[in-house]
């Protein structure tokens, strides 16, 4: 297996300390704090360890504090309810004695029922698009290192955006993003693992859609963004190592917050998951942005 993907799978596996207590490491992906998708995926993994015979169908999480990349994270699971068909779990992620994330997840015994879904957007196939890292060669000299690293860092997922990437110029664009996503290598036939990996990657690209109509340039280093909450629904089974179209739109931005929602489709148009998120989006003086991005500061 590709070493970067293998490392992510190990990261999501967690260490069991007690029946309902788990511990995980963190990875630096270039952000000033622990990547929200990592905490989300690990929290879901912790909840899954306490459930048998049932599959996650939804989760709802709040990001409370910045995560410290240099410290391990403890996950405490509350087995809130095991009913006839559904189980509910509450998870708290803790660092330095304080919660950084609260999450509730619901699990269901598989069963048949009514079925309908939204249609997949009509977009080019992934083979007809450029990979995200290919746009790094077009960045001019002097752009922030974090921006260049975002495009060039080896990641466990391949991204192929439908719209050409432009992170430097100030453009006014519709609040819509389409990007094909898949793991860089084959993933074991483990349904919960595929869900954990989707939870992880669902935090990419999502909030950024809310900035598109506002002529912002990430190279200007004057935008502060942070996830506030995240919800995810699993509709149908899928494989994260096969292409999924992540279709995102942002219906609203106000009060220094952006709201975005997304849908994951397989290549044949099957809707397998939906997500939504609200996040902090502040436009500030670049010097103030650098100060506020200090992991020791709290929003």
Residue 279: pLDDT over 90: yes
Residue 21: pLDDT over 80: yes
Set 42, 203, 229, 263: catalytic member = 203
Set 48, 106, 227, 260: catalytic member = 227
Domains and CATH numbers, the chain: 3-110+126-292 (2.40.160.210)
Specify the pLDDT at position 223. Answer: 82
Q: Which residue has the higher pLDDT, 87 or 143?
A: 87
**Is the Cβ–Cβ distance between 219 and 168 less than 8 Å?**
yes
Is 227 designated active site? yes
Burial 81-103 (b: 16+ CB within 10 A, else e): eeeeeebbbbbbbbbeeeebbbb
Q: How far apart are CA 55 and CA 210, in angstroms?
A: 31
User: For residue 108, what are the β-bridge partners?
Assistant: 55, 86
Q: Which residue has the higher pLDDT, 295 or 275?
A: 275
Is 277 designated active site? yes
Residue 299: pLDDT over 70: no
Torsion angle defined by CA atoms of residues 166, 172, 173 and 174, in that order, rounded to the nearest 10 degrees: 160
Residue 98: pLDDT over 50: yes
Phi, psi of 110 (to 5 degrees): -55, 135
Mean pLDDT, the chain, rounded, equals 90
Q: 79 in helix, strand or coil? A: strand
% of the chain exceeding 70 in pLDDT = 87
The model's confidence at residue 141, banded by pLDDT at 50, 70 and 90, is low
The model's confidence at residue 99, banded by pLDDT at 50, 70 and 90, is very high
Residue 111: pLDDT over 80: yes
**Is the Cβ–Cβ distance between 101 and 64 less than 8 Å?**
yes
Set 106, 195, 263, 277: catalytic member = 277
Please compute the mean of the pLDDT values over residues 95-117 and round it to a whole number. 97
């Amino acid at each position: 297996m590709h070493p970067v993907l293998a490392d992510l799978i190990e990261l999501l596996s967690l260490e069991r300390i007690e029946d309902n207590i788990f511990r995980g490491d963190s990875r630096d992906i270039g952000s000033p704090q622990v990547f929200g998708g990592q905490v989300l995926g690990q929290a879901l993994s912790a909840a899954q360890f306490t459930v048998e015979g049932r599959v996650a169908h939804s989760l709802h999480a709040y990001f409370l504090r910045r995560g410290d990349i240099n410290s391990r994270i403890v996950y405490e699971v509350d087995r809130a309810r095991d009913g006839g068909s559904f189980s509910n779990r509450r998870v708290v992620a803790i660092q330095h004695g304080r919660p950084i994330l609260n999450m509730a997840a619901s699990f269901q015994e598989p069963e048949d029922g009514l079925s309908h879904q939204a249609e997949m957007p009509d977009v080019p196939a992934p083979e007809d698009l450029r990979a995200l890292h290919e746009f790094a060669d077009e960045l001019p000299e002097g752009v922030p290192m974090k921006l260049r690293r975002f495009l060039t860092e080896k990641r466990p997922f391949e991204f192929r955006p439908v719209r050409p990437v432009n992170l430097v110029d100030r453009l006014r664009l519709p609040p819509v993003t389409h990007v094909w996503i898949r793991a860089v290598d084959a993933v074991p036939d483990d349904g919960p693992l595929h869900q954990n990996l989707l939870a992880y990657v669902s935090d990419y690209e999502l909030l950024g859609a809310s900035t598109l109509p506002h002529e912002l340039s990430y190279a200007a280093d004057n935008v502060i963004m942070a996830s506030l909450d995240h919800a995810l629904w699993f509709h149908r089974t899928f494989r994260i190592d096969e292409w999924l179209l992540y279709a995102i739109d942002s219906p609203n931005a106000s009060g220094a917050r952006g709201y975005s929602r997304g849908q994951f489709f397989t290549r044949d148009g099957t809707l397998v998951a939906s997500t939504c998120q609200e996040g902090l989006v502040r436009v500030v003086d670049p010097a103030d942005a650098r100060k506020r991005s200090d992991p020791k500061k709290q929003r």
